[in-house]
Structure formats: structure tokens, C-alpha cells
A and B are shown apart, each in its own frame.
Chain A
Amino acid sequence: MHAKPSAEGSLGSRPTSAREYGPVLSLLLVSPLVLLLVGGFLYPVGKLFWGSIFVPEASFANYARILQEPLFLLVLRRTFEIGFVVTALALLLGYPVALAMARVPGRAAILIAACVLIPLWTSVLVRSYAWIVLLQRNGVVNNALIETGLTDTPLRLLYTQGAVIAAMTQVLLPFMILPIYSVVRNIPDDLVRAARNLGAGSLLAFVRVTLPLSLPGVTAGVLITFILSLGFYITPALVGGPSTLMMSTLIGQQTTELLDWPFAGALAAILLLATLLLVIVFRRTLAFNKGFKLG
């Protein structure tokens, strides 16, 4: 076939094929995002981190303070613990839902999808207040417990770590379900049928075929949920108490109440570093999504 130089774009770039954009056009297309990223993220965050070391003068005093004071390390550890628990719970609760959403036929699937998406479209603030309604002293849960005779006096449910975990799991569940769903939905039915035909029971067919093929979705869902949970601010601030202080709340206090921006920068830097480290380790150990493609 003779490659005829096509009508060259007025931008003067030379695309190598009709499916590719030339470098100039490509740059132009991504430039709004790049500007936003630089102006809205890199610059302020860079300034914050710069400030944590060089304001008022160059020293690692802020970082030394975090490492020396047990409270900050405790909060950091708690943040990661809650992140782990929330992610694990979301996976446990979300995987079956994603599976059902992808495999159930017709209207039932739409219903499940609605149950997943409508909370997602509702403000986090509303959903967190809903948990307060549920868990407060004379809330739905306590009333039910008292009426069934399981307890005489209302239990302290709100402002506990349990409340934070429950509310965060509920808020983050769609971020676990949707990536898993999109991967499971693309696993051809014939693969499961083939496994059944070749002698696998339904459970074994799931373990040997559906589960391993859904792992890329699990990896994505776990990463998104975990990273989001580390930076969660509104929900823990509303349904949690002083004993459930998390990193983002701590950073918030430093910036809005104590106005100690350099120290807040140091806390943020440590949170970011720890998150990046964990993500890298996670991807290294769970590098499932290589070597095969579906379809």
C-alpha cells in the first residue's frame, strides 16, 4: 500500500497514522489539564512542602517534631489502620455486589446499579449526617436494640472508631464496586461455561476463572478506596470523636485553627510519602493485570 501524505493539518504536525494525533495537537488537547494540574495542584502543594522545610528557615524541625511526638505517629498509624479496615470491608461487601451487578440479567441488574450509584450521587455530607441519625443515643439503631431487649440503656455508638469505619465503608463502597464490576462484566460468559463444561463445579469455576480474571478490577478498587480513605475528612470529623482523630482532620486543625502551615505541610508530606510507598508495594506484590487481555 502506498502511504500518501494526507492533507497535513494546519498545525504542521505529521501524524504517523490517521488514528494518531501529531505532537502539537496532542499538547493542545491536554494543555487545559496540564495548566490545571500545575496551577491547582503542583504549585500549592509544592509551596506547602517547601514551606514545611524552608519556613521560617531551612530545617527539618517540623519533621523531627512528628517523629518525636507519639500523638502524631499514633494518628498516622490509626489513619492507615482505618484505611486498611475500611478497604477490606469494602472489598468483602463490594465484590459480591459487583459480581451480581455484572451477572444478574435484565431489570435486577439495573436495580442493583441504582442502589450503588444513587448514594454515590448524594453528597458525602448528607450521607455522614444520615449515619448520625442512625447511630445517635435515641437513633434508629439504639431504639431497635432497646425494643428487642438486647440492651437496657442506649449504647454509645456515635463518635467511635466503629462509627467512622461503618460510615466510611458505606461512602467508599461504590469506588470498590464500580471498577470490579466493569472488569467482571467484560469477562465473557463462555469462559465460565467452558470451565463448567470441562468439569468445574460453579464454585471451582469461580475460583479458577472469574476470580483471577477479576483481579485487575480488585486491584483498582482497592487502590482507589484505600487512597481515598487515607484522605477522608468530612465523615471522620462528623461521626468520629477525639479518639478517632485521623491525619486529614489533624492537618485541617493545623491550617484552620493553629495556622501552623509549615507543620501542616510536613504532616501532608509524610501522609503523601507513606501513601505512595504503600501503593508501590501493593502494585509490586499484586501485579496480576499483566500478560493477558480479555476477549
Chain B
Amino acid sequence: MDGASVSVQGLGKRYGAVRAVKALGIEVRSGEFLSLLGPSGSGKTTLLMMIAGFEMPTEGAIRIGDRDVTYVAPNRRNIGMVFQRYALFPHMTVADNVAFPLRMRKVVKAEIARRVADALALVQLQDFGKRLPSELSGGQQQRVAVARALVFEPPVLLMDEPLGALDKKLREQMQIEIKRLQRRLGVTVIYVTHDQEEALTMSDRIAVMRNGSLEQIGSPIALYDNPATPFVADFVGKTNFLEAVCHSCNGTGLEFGLGQSGFIHLKECPPTLPSPPRPGDKIRLAVRPEQIRILRLGDSDRPPLNGVVEAIIFVGSFRTFLVRLAGGELVHVQAGTDHGMAYPQEGERVGLTIPSQAVQVFPDRRQ
């Protein structure tokens, strides 16, 4: 089985006056694992429904491989799909569920039996063929849904928040299993999720959607390290936003003032700004919590950025310090657990240092 490319061009969907999806263009490469990530109402599910053929677009085109499927009936698209609540047929056994797409394709009986057995073995449910879906656990039903969607060897697999109903531990286990299956079979996967962690761990690329439009598309690392907009910075991973004013911009770098809280110095102009800022420009800075270093201060130390530790949250592998800056901003600082280190206490005054490559700079346009 080889994955097919999926190409979405100028795709739009209108419900009355509401534009659920706006002139969307995405090129999914063959064999790629692409996640559609966005909050509810961002249009990601509508996009998936249009690729599956359950919703007809009001404009634009969808191509799978080199075939235009924009207005093709869903049963003629040859796309596998795993639904949010699995959508297993409750009146059929597990084996009959998995055999369903093969029967629809008039595959001969002996071959159906063989391929159903193979598909169930693929998801480690070989002994469950005679059970009804209601007799299986959530995780098992999920696997049956995957087997049913893959048994007819579709070049593209759509998944609509397939792990949303599972508990955390099972979800993480299924993430690894799905990823492994996808690598082994080479199938193109388009995966809808609102869970940014899930998108980050599973995807080759992530398309972040917002209000029916594509906000940014890129690899998880690119999205995390170089978010194109404050929305992406905020939605993918955790981010501290700071309002700042440009003080100076010259050969030695940029300096941003944070009012009473202090200032931040950058070595060079960041790529997210179209042009270097001029002194007086208002700017939004975004910094990941784990990029900030926390320093315990002596009595005479006066670092450029400092504040008071307001609370410490212990999360096991790391701890988060909530630091209140002098100007009133609350900054999250994340530090790995290091038993040799003496951590600052609550109420203690601390200094913060931020490496200049860790700062994302956005023009201050309220979005």
C-alpha cells in the first residue's frame, strides 16, 4: 500500500452567511502524517468532512493523487476514516465490521477471511472477531475502527480526533501504535486534533487552523521554535507574552523596554518582523517558559529583568515558577528537576535571563 498525495486548493465552505472554511490551500505529501490542529470552530473538522465527501465545498477543489474528487460520492473516494466515536456497526461482529468494506468491494469470500484476519492481527485483536463491539473496551473498539479503515488498503486515512474518548495512558499508547502502523504501511494520514501535544508527538507536519483559515503549516519543531503568529505561539506549547516598546535598534542589537519591569536585549532582528522596529514601536514578545533561566540574587545584584516568585508548581519532571515582574506581568518559568540545585523559594526576589534566540517578536496588532 502506497500513500497518495492530497491537494486542497482554494477550498471554501459556507453555511448561509457563515464561512466555516475560507479559501484554504494545503498540499499533503504522499505517506505524510499531517495533523490539522486548531480550537473548536476553526474549521478543521469541516475540512476533513469535505475531504471524506460528507460535506460539499462551496468553492475550490480537492485532489487525491492525480484524481479530482471534489464532487465524488464518499463511497467512491477510497479513503479510510476513523471516526471520533469509532462508529462501529453495533449489530455486526468485529469480523463483520472489518469485512464490511471488502464486501462492498465484492472481494471473494476466502480473500475476505484472510484479509480480515490479517487486519485484526495488525491491531492485535486476532481473537476478538466473533465479539460484538459493545463487548470490547474503548481502546479495543478504537483498534477495530483502525483495522476496518485500513483493511481495504486505502491510500489515504482520515482520523477525526480518534483518541479523544480514551484516558491519558491509553491515548499515549495508541499514539505510538498508530504512528508505527502509519510508518509500516506508508499510508498518508490526515489527523484532526485539538490536542497540541498529540499533534506535536505524532505529526510530520502540522497545519494550525483558526477561524476557517490556515494560520501556519510546518514541522512540529518549526512551529514550536518559529511560530509565525502569536496565535500559533500560544496554541502550540506554552508561551509567555510580554508587551514591550523598542528602545534602540543599532549595530549592537535591539533593546526592548518592559516599562517598570526592566528590559530585554536581542543580538539581531528576528525573522517574524517584516522590517526592523524603530525606537518607540510597540512590540509583542513571546518566550517559552523553558527558555528562561532563573537566577537567585545577592543583595546587591540588579539584573535587567527581575521579579518575585509568587508560586511554585511541582509537575514531577519539572517545576514551574510563577514570577511577578516589577511592572505586574506574570511570567511562567519552567526548570527541570535537578537535585543538586538550590531552588528559589516563594516570595524570593529572582533575576531572569532570556537568550536572544529564544525571543519571538511580533508587531503589536491585537489579534
Query: What distance in Å separates the Cβ of B29 from its nearest Cβ neighbour in chain A?
Result: 23
Chain A contact patch, size range: 20 to 34
B158 nearest CB neighbor, chain A only: A197
Across the A-B interface, the 8 shortest Cβ-Cβ residue pairs = A199-B104, A190-B87, A198-B101, A194-B87, A292-B90, A196-B74, A197-B81, A190-B83
Known: A188-B87, A200-B75, A293-B90. A195 touches B100 (CB 8 A): yes
Residues of B within 8 A of A198 (CB): 75, 100-101, 104, 148-149, 152
Q: What are some 11 contacts across the A-B interface (CB < 8 A)?
A: A191-B87, A193-B74, A194-B89, A196-B53, A196-B54, A196-B75, A197-B52, A198-B101, A198-B152, A200-B75, A201-B73
| A201 & B85 in contact (Cβ 8 Å cutoff) | no
Query: What distance in Å separates the Cβ of B129 from its nearest Cβ neighbour in chain A?
Result: 16
| A197 & B79 in contact (Cβ 8 Å cutoff) | yes
| B90 & A204 in contact (Cβ 8 Å cutoff) | no
Give bound CA distance, A212 to B79, whole Å: 25
Residues 281-293 of chain A, each 1 if its beta carbon lies under 8 Å from chain B, else 0 = 0000000000111
Give bound CA distance, A205 to B79, whole Å: 16
Query: What distance in Å separates the Cβ of A76 from its nearest Cβ neighbour in chain B?
Result: 37
- Out of A193, A196, A294, name the residue touching B90 (CB < 8 Å): A294
Give bound CA distance, A209 to B91, whole Å: 8
State the interface size on chain B (CB cutoff 8 A). Answer: 29
A292 nearest CB neighbor, chain B only: B90
Query: What distance in Å separates the Cβ of A77 from its nearest Cβ neighbour in chain B?
Result: 36
Q: Does A251 contact B (CB under 8 A)?
A: no
| A190 & B134 in contact (Cβ 8 Å cutoff) | no
Known: A204-B104, A292-B134, A293-B90. A197 touches B84 (CB 8 A): no
Residues 26-59 of chain B, each 1 if its beta carbon lies under 8 Å from chain A, else 0 = 0000000000000000000000000011100000
Residues 152-196 of chain A, each 1 if its beta carbon lies under 8 Å from chain B, else 0 = 000000000000000000000000000000000000101101111
Known: A200-B75, A200-B104, A204-B104. A194 touches B83 (CB 8 A): yes
B133 nearest CB neighbor, chain A only: A292
| A199 & B89 in contact (Cβ 8 Å cutoff) | no
Of the candidates A191, A193, A198, the one having the most CB atoms from chain B within 10 angstroms of its own CB is: A198
| A191 & B89 in contact (Cβ 8 Å cutoff) | yes
Give bound CA distance, A204 to B84, whole Å: 23
Give bound CA distance, A294 to B90, whole Å: 6
Residues of B within 8 A of A48 (CB): none
Residues of B within 8 A of A188 (CB): 85, 87
Q: Does B132 contact A (CB under 8 A)?
A: yes
Q: Does A113 contact B (CB under 8 A)?
A: no
Query: What distance in Å separates the Cβ of B104 from its nearest Cβ neighbour in chain A?
Result: 3
Give bound CA distance, A293 to B73, whole Å: 29
A204 nearest CB neighbor, chain B only: B104
Q: Does A102 contact B (CB under 8 A)?
A: no
- Out of B73, B87, B88, name the residue touching A193 (CB < 8 Å): B87
Query: What distance in Å separates the Cβ of A294 from its nearest Cβ neighbour in chain B?
Result: 6
Query: What distance in Å separates the Cβ of B150 from its nearest Cβ neighbour in chain A?
Result: 11
Query: What distance in Å separates the Cβ of A182 from its nearest Cβ neighbour in chain B?
Result: 17
Q: List which A224-267 residues lie within 8 A (CB) of chain B.
A: none
Give bound CA distance, A69 to B91, whole Å: 49
Residues of B within 8 A of A194 (CB): 81, 83, 87-89
Give bound CA distance, A196 to B101, whole Å: 9
Of the candidates A188, A190, A194, A291, the one having the most CB atoms from chain B within 10 angstroms of its own CB is: A194
- Out of B78, B100, B132, name the residue touching A292 (CB < 8 Å): B132
Q: Does A213 contact B (CB under 8 A)?
A: yes
Known: A190-B83, A190-B84, A291-B132. A197 touches B74 (CB 8 A): yes
Residues of B within 8 A of A196 (CB): 53-54, 73-75
A190-B85, A195-B100 are known; give 5 further A-B pairs, CB within 8 A: A190-B87, A197-B75, A197-B77, A198-B75, A199-B100
Known: A291-B132, A292-B134. A199 touches B87 (CB 8 A): no
Residues of A within 8 A of B77 (CB): 197
Residues of B within 8 A of A200 (CB): 75, 100, 104
| A199 & B75 in contact (Cβ 8 Å cutoff) | yes
Residues 324-342 of chain B, each 1 if its beta carbon lies under 8 Å from chain A, else 0 = 0000000000000000000
Residues of A within 8 A of B134 (CB): 292-293
- Out of A193, A209, A292, A294, name the residue touching B83 (CB < 8 Å): A193
A213 nearest CB neighbor, chain B only: B91
Give bound CA distance, A204 to B79, whole Å: 18
Of the candidates B73, B87, B101, B148, the one having the most CB atoms from chain A within 10 angstroms of its own CB is: B87
| A199 & B90 in contact (Cβ 8 Å cutoff) | no
Query: What distance in Å separates the Cβ of A21 from its nearest Cβ neighbour in chain B?
Result: 27
Residues of B within 8 A of A190 (CB): 83-85, 87
A205 nearest CB neighbor, chain B only: B75
Q: Does B105 contact A (CB under 8 A)?
A: yes
Query: What distance in Å separates the Cβ of A263 from its nearest Cβ neighbour in chain B?
Result: 48
| B89 & A209 in contact (Cβ 8 Å cutoff) | yes
Residues of A within 8 A of B54 (CB): 193, 196-197
Give bound CA distance, A294 to B75, whole Å: 23
Give bound CA distance, A131 to B101, whole Å: 50
